[in-house]
Amino acid sequence: MTRQMTGAEMVIQALIDQGVDTIFGYPGGAVLPIFDELFQQEEVRHILVRHEQGAGHAAEGYARSTGKVGVALATSGPGATNMVTALTDALLDSIPMVCITGQVPTTLIGTDAFQEADTVGITRPCTKHNWLVRRIEDLPAILHEAFRIATTGRPGPVLVDIPKNIQFQTGTYENCKGKALTQYHPAVKGPEAAIREAVELMAAAKKPILYTGGGVINSGPKAVALLRDLVKLTGFPITSTLMGLGAYPASGRNWLGMLGMHGTYEANLAMHDCDVMVCIGARFDDRITGRIDAFSPKSKKIHIDIDPSSINKNVVVDLPIVGDVGSVLEDLIAAWTARKPMQDKAAHAAWWKQIDGWRAKRCLTYRPSAEAIMPQYAIERLYALTKDRDTYITTEVGQHQMWVAQYYGFEEPNRFMTSGGLGTMGYGLPAAIGTQLAHPGALVIDVAGDASIQMNIQELSTAVQHNAPVKAFILNNQYMGMVRQWQQLLHGNRLSHSYVDSQPDFVRLAEAYGAVGIRCSKPADLDDAIEEMIRIDRPVLFDCHVVSLANCFPMIPSGKAHNEMLLGTDVTDEEIETAIGAAGKVLV
Amino acid sequence: MMIVAGQSQSAYFLEEELPSTERSHTLSVLVDNEPGVLARVVGLFSGRGYNIESLTVSEIEHASHMSRITIVTTGRPPVISQIMHQLGRLVPVHKVVNLTWAGDALERELALIKVCGKGEIRDEALRLAQAFNARIVDATLDSYVFEITGAPADIDRFVGLMKDCGLVELARTGLAALSRGRNGITSAPAVAG
C-alpha cells in the first residue's frame, strides 16, 4: 500500500504506523509543516515542553517506563542543539529514542542561514545513528529504519534531520516498518559453546555472584523473568548497577543491594571475593569497578552483553557471550537444567555465611535525628508510604539519587528512571512527566535535589498544562551535595561554589506555576506531608528541608578497591570535616 | 581513614599509562558509501583517543555504493580489538578486518615527489629514481616529478634520499592493502561488523 503525501504527512504517518501515541516537542520555523500536520490529526498526541532538553528527557522517561521508543521533535539550530544533552544521555544509558529535527531548506544548507546548525554533524557522536534527509524518496524508509535501529541490538537514540523543503515536497509513502534499510543486524543469540562453558564455570563455583545491569531491563520482561528464574535455580547472590535496579526484587532473599561507588558493603565485598562473576547486561563502568587492577582479583568472569565493544573494554573477562540477555539466559537456563549440576552445597553455605557477616555491618545505618530530617530518613519514609502503590520514581543526579538507590526498594523493572551514564542534572522532572503521561493513573515522583531541580524547573509548566500530576520531592540541603562531598573528601573542605545561595521559595514557585507547594522540615511532620503530597492530584513541589551536611555513604573513594570502602557509621560529619581539613593542609 | 597526601585528586581513577607494546595495524573497513560515513569513522578515532597514521578511502563498488577504508592505527592488542568493535558498531560499517592479524598483507602506497636542482644533484636524483623504480612523470630543465609505488617503508627511504637531492614537495596517497591468497574481505572471518 503506497500513498502520495507530503514529507510532513509522512512523518506523522510513520509515527502512527510505528504505534507511537505520544511525542514530546517544541515548534519552530523549520518544523512548522510537521506541527501543522500534528494539528490536523488526533492519533498522535504532542506534549509541548518548555525547553527541548525537557522534550528529550521526557521521551526518555516515557521509553524507560514503557519499554517503547520515546519520540522527540524539535526545530533546527537551537532546537537541535538543546536536544544534545538528552541524546547523549540516551546514548550512555542505551535508551531507545527517535528524535526528529527540522532543518533549513536544502538550498540554504551551508550558507549560515537563520537557525541553521550542522545537526547531523553535532549529533553524530551522541546518537546511535543519524540521517540528514536530502530527498523525499528516502524519507519513508529512513523514518522506519530509525525506529528499527533505535530498538534493535543495544538500544539508543537515532536522529532524523529533515529540511523544510522536504517536509513540503510530495512523494510516495510506503509503510516499511520492519524492513531493513541498512545492513545493521546485531546478533541476538549467544554462541552455544560459550553458554555450555558458562554452565560449567557456574556449576563449579564456590563463591559465585550475579552482577546485573540495565541490559536486563532493556532486553524486556522475558529477560527479567529469566533472571529471577536463574537466581532461584542457582541460589547465587545477586547485585546490580544503578541502571539495573528492579530487575531482581529488592525484597528477594538473594539481593545484596546495589554495588559500586555508593553500593552496599556486602555487594562490593562479595564482588571482590567471589570466584565466579556472571556479569549480565552491565558494562564494568568506572563507578562500578573502582580501582581496575584490584577489581575482583580472584574471579573467573563471564560477561553477557549484546554489544561486542563492551567486552574487554574496561575489564578483561574470561568468557564473553555476545547476545541478547533474554536469549542467552533462556539458553543458559536450558543448558543448566539439562546438565543438572551438583553444586558444592558446603561451599555455598560458607559463602552465604561470609555474606551474612558483611550484611551484619548494616552499612546503610545512619544517625537518626529527632529535630531535623535526615535525607536517608526522608527516602525511607517516602518508600514506606509509596511502596504499596503503583509508583514510578525518577531522580536528578547527586546525593539524593544515590540515597534513592540505597533506601528505596525497587521490586519491578521499568519503575526507576535515572540518568546513570551521563549523570545529567535536570533529568528527573521531565523524565517524570514522560513517565506520568505513559502511566496516567500512577504515582510518579521525581526525587530531586535543590540544585538539580532548578536545571529544568521550567517543565513544571509542562506538567501543569498537560495535567501530569508529578511530584518533585526535593531533598533540600542548600548545597550541591555530591559536589560538596567530593570537595570535603578531596579538596580540603574548600567548598568552592557548591553552596546554593539565593534559593527560590519552592512553595511560592510551585504556586506561581499553578502547581502545589508543600514544605516540611520536621521529622514528626514528614509522614503527614508525604501523605498529603500523594493525595493531591496535581503537580507538587515538595520542599523537604533536610540536614545540610549529611554525606552519602558507604563510598569507595577514587583509586580504591571494593574492599576499601568508607562506611558512614565510622565517622560523623564533623569528623569528616576536621579529618579532611587537616589532610587538606598537606594537599598542595 | 581519610584521604592522605598523594592520593588521587580526581573523581575518576587516574591510571598511569602502562609501558606500551604498541604496534601498527592495518584495518580494512567495508562501508556504505553515504554522506558522513568518513566523518563517523574519523570522529570515532578522535572522540575515543585512537591514533590514525594513515587513512585511505575510495568507492570500490559503484552499483552497491560500497567504499573501502584502509586505516593504519597503532595500539596495544586490547586497544586494537576495541577499535575494531567500535568500528563494527557504526551502522554503515559492513565489515572490519585486521590485515595485520590475518598475516603478511600486501601494502602499497603511491607518492609523487618533486625535486629541483641542476648538475650533479639532478643526475643523482635520476640515478636513485631508477634504482627505486620510480617513474618520471614531469620534467623541466631544473626539476623532476617522480612517481613511486611501493611499501610505505620503501617510499620513506626514497623520500629520505631525495631530501639531499633538492626535494621540493611530495604527496602520498596513504595505504591500499589486501590480504594474500584467494579470500577477499567479504569471505574473511569477521572480527567485528
Residue of B nearest to A183 (CA): B94
Set of chain B residues whose Cβ sits within 8 Å of the Cβ of A485:
none
Q: Which residues fall within 8 angstroms of residue B138, CB to CB, at 6 or more apart?
A: B114, B144, B145
A124–B39 CB contact, under 8 Å: yes
Set of chain A residues whose Cβ sits within 8 Å of the Cβ of B7:
557-559
Q: How far apart are the first and last CA of chain A?
A: 72
B11–A576 CB contact, under 8 Å: no
d(CA A376, CA A566): 17
Same domain, B92 and B30: yes
Same domain, B98 and B119: no
B32–A307 CB contact, under 8 Å: no
CB B91 within 8 A of CB A145: no
d(CA A516, CA A511): 6
Among candidate residues A294, A302, A385, A374, the one with its CA nearest the CA of residue A336: A302
Residue B91 host element (H or E): none
d(CA A123, CA A118): 9
Q: Is the pLDDT of residue A463 over 60?
A: yes
C-alpha cell at A203: 556449576
Residue B66 host element (H or E): strand B66-75
Residue A170 has a CB neighbour count (10 Å cut-off) of 12
Q: Categorize the per-residue pLDDT at A564 as very low, low, confident or very high, splitting at 50, 70 and 90.
A: confident
In a domain, B126, yes or no: yes
Same domain, B134 and B98: no
DSSP-assigned states of every residue in B118-161: -THHHHHHHHHHHHTTPEEEEEETTEEEEEEEE-HHHHHHHHHH
pLDDT in tens, A293-347: 999 999 999 999 999 999 999 999 999 999 999 999 999 999 999 999 999 999 9
B11–A313 CB contact, under 8 Å: no
A→B contacts (Cβ < 8 Å), by residue, are: 120-121, 124-125, 128-129, 132, 134, 149, 182-184, 286, 290-292, 307-309, 311-313, 316, 486, 489-491, 557-559, 566, 570-571, 576, 579-580, 583, 586-587
Chain A nearest C-alpha distance from B108 (Å): 30
- The pLDDT value given to residue B81: 94
Same domain, B28 and B96: yes
In a domain, B144, yes or no: yes
- The pLDDT value given to residue B5: 38
Residue keyed to cell 594513515: B54
A309–B40 CB contact, under 8 Å: no
Chain A nearest C-alpha distance from B46 (Å): 10
Q: In this structure, what are the phi and psi dihedrals at residue B132, rounded to the nearest 5 degrees?
A: -95, 10
> Which one of A559, A579, A586 has the shortest CB-CB distance to B13?
A559
Residue A22 has a CB neighbour count (10 Å cut-off) of 20
Question: What is the domain count for chain B?
Answer: 2
CB A449 within 8 A of CB A427: no
Q: Which residues fall within 8 angstroms of residue A295, CB to CB, at 6 or more apart?
A: A271, A272, A284, A289, A315, A561, A562
CATH, residue B82: 3.30.70.260
> What is the signed CA dihedral for A56, A60, A62, A67, rounded to 10 degrees?
150
- The pLDDT value given to residue A569: 72
B3–A132 CB contact, under 8 Å: no
pLDDT in tens, B30-57: 999 999 999 999 999 999 999 999 999 9
In a domain, B118, yes or no: yes
Residue A47 host element (H or E): strand A45-48
Same domain, B85 and B144: no
* Choice among A99-103, A488-492, B114-118, B167-171 with the minimum mean pLDDT: A488-492
What is the ipTM, given to two decimal places? 0.90
pLDDT in tens, A546-556: 999 999 999 98
A490–B3 CB contact, under 8 Å: yes
| Residue ending a domain, choose from B84, B102, B120 | B102
Active site (annotated) includes residue A284? no
Same domain, B28 and B97: yes
Same domain, B115 and B152: yes
Set of chain B residues whose Cβ sits within 8 Å of the Cβ of A309:
82, 85-86, 88-89
Q: Which residues fall within 8 angstroms of residue A467, CB to CB, at 6 or more apart?
A: none
Q: CB burial class (10 A; 0-12, 13-18, 19+) of residue A213?
A: buried
In a domain, B193, yes or no: no
Classify strands B143-150 and B135-140 as parallel, antiparallel or unpaired.
antiparallel
Average pLDDT over residues A411-426: 98
Higher pLDDT, A291 or B7: A291
How many CB contacts within 8 angstroms connect chain A with chain B?
A: 84
pLDDT in tens, A517-541: 999 999 999 999 999 999 999 999 9
In a domain, B169, yes or no: yes
B13–A313 CB contact, under 8 Å: no
B→A contacts (Cβ < 8 Å), by residue, are: 1-5, 7-15, 32, 35-36, 39-40, 43-44, 47, 78, 81-82, 85-86, 88-92, 94, 192
Q: What b/e string do you get for B25-38 counting C-beta neighbours within 10 Å, with b at 16 or more?
A: bbbbbbbbbeeebe
Helix axes A221-234, A325-339, angle to 10 degrees: 30
A583–B3 CB contact, under 8 Å: yes
Sign of CA dihedral A574, A576, A579, A580: negative
Classify strands A516-520 and A443-449 as parallel, antiparallel or unpaired.
unpaired
Number of C-alpha atoms within 13 angstroms, CB side, residue A40? 10
In a domain, B79, yes or no: yes
Chain B interface test: which of A92, A309, A483 (most B C-beta within 10 Å): A309
Residue A181 host element (H or E): none
- The pLDDT value given to residue A229: 98
Domains in chain A, CATH or no CATH each: 2-174 (3.40.50.970), 192-359 (3.40.50.1220), 375-552 (3.40.50.970)
Length of chain A: 588
Classify strands A22-25 and A319-322 as parallel, antiparallel or unpaired.
unpaired
d(CA A97, CA A16): 16
- Domain hosting B74: range is 23-102
CATH, residue B122: 3.30.70.1150
C-alpha cell at A125: 557522536
Catalytic residue among A164, A207, A301, A471: A164
Q: What share of chain B is helix, strand, coil (3-state, %, to 5)?
A: 30, 35, 35
Chain B nearest C-alpha distance from A290 (Å): 7
Same domain, B44 and B97: yes
In a domain, B3, yes or no: no
In a domain, B80, yes or no: yes
Same domain, B41 and B90: yes
Q: Is the pLDDT of residue A585 over 50?
A: no
Set of chain A residues whose Cβ sits within 8 Å of the Cβ of B36:
120-121, 124, 132
- The pLDDT value given to residue B191: 54
Chain A interface test: which of B91, B186, B191 (most A C-beta within 10 Å): B91
Residue of B nearest to A571 (CA): B1
Secondary structure of A520-551 in HEC code, one letter for each residue:
ECCHHHHHHHHHHHHHCCCCEEEEEEECCCCC
Helix residue spans in A439-572 (DSSP H):
459-465, 481-490, 506-513, 523-535
pLDDT in tens, B53-96: 999 999 998 898 999 999 999 999 999 999 999 999 999 999 99
CA distances from B137 to A10, A314, B129 (A): 55, 51, 12
Q: Read off the amino acid at residue A93.
A: D
DSSP code for B189: P
Q: Read off the amino acid at residue B31.
A: V
d(CA B129, CA B132): 5
Set of chain B residues whose Cβ sits within 8 Å of the Cβ of A558:
7-8, 10-13
Same domain, B61 and B110: no
Chain A nearest C-alpha distance from B118 (Å): 48
Q: Is the pLDDT of residue A396 over 90?
A: yes
> Which one of A134, A308, A579 has the shortest CB-CB distance to B192?
A308
Residue keyed to cell 583509586: A559
Q: Is the pLDDT of residue A380 over 70?
A: yes
Same domain, B27 and B85: yes
Residue A116 host element (H or E): none
Residue A429 has a CB neighbour count (10 Å cut-off) of 30
d(CA A140, CA A122): 23
d(CA A553, CA A364): 7
Active site (annotated) includes residue A114? yes
> Which one of A121, A290, A312 has the shortest CB-CB distance to B13?
A290
Same domain, B85 and B29: yes
Catalytic residue among A52, A60, A330, A380: A52
